[in-house]
Amino acid sequence: MNPRTNEFDFGGILGALGVTITVPIFTYLLNPSCQPIVGGKLNSFETISEIQEVWNETRLFSHEGFNLCFCWYIYMVICARFGQWPFLYVIDHYFEIIAASLIMSI
């Protein structure tokens, strides 16, 4: 466990609340700009109209996404409950897994 501290990051409680609220909002707003229709550019009004077209086609909720998120939470609960079991292998070796995926992508 990490030691207890009285220091706050992100400007204190209000800053942490602001980050907690704004990160999902910006994720929802910027996600359509990464769609193939738009091409990842946000530099013109034409792009904004293309993003609006993507928003009309985008689903905000899917059972597949919900199931993946739910499985992730179950995985975390199992890791917390049973401690240093093989469940924590991925978390303990995350940097090496990222490096391996980077090498394989080149």
3-state secondary structure of 60: coil
Domain that holds residue 22: 1-60
pTM above 0.75, yes or no: no
**How many Cβ atoms from other residues are within 10 Å of residue 53's Cβ?**
13
pLDDT value at residue 54? 60
**pLDDT tens digit string along 3-33?**
777 777 778 888 888 888 888 888 777 776 6
54 and 89 share a domain?
A: no
pLDDT value at residue 41? 62
74 and 56 share a domain?
A: no
22 and 70 share a domain?
A: no
97 and 52 share a domain?
A: no
pLDDT value at residue 20? 86
53 and 85 share a domain?
A: no
- Which carries the bigger pLDDT value, residue 79 or residue 36? 79
Calpha distance 32→67 (Å, rounded): 22
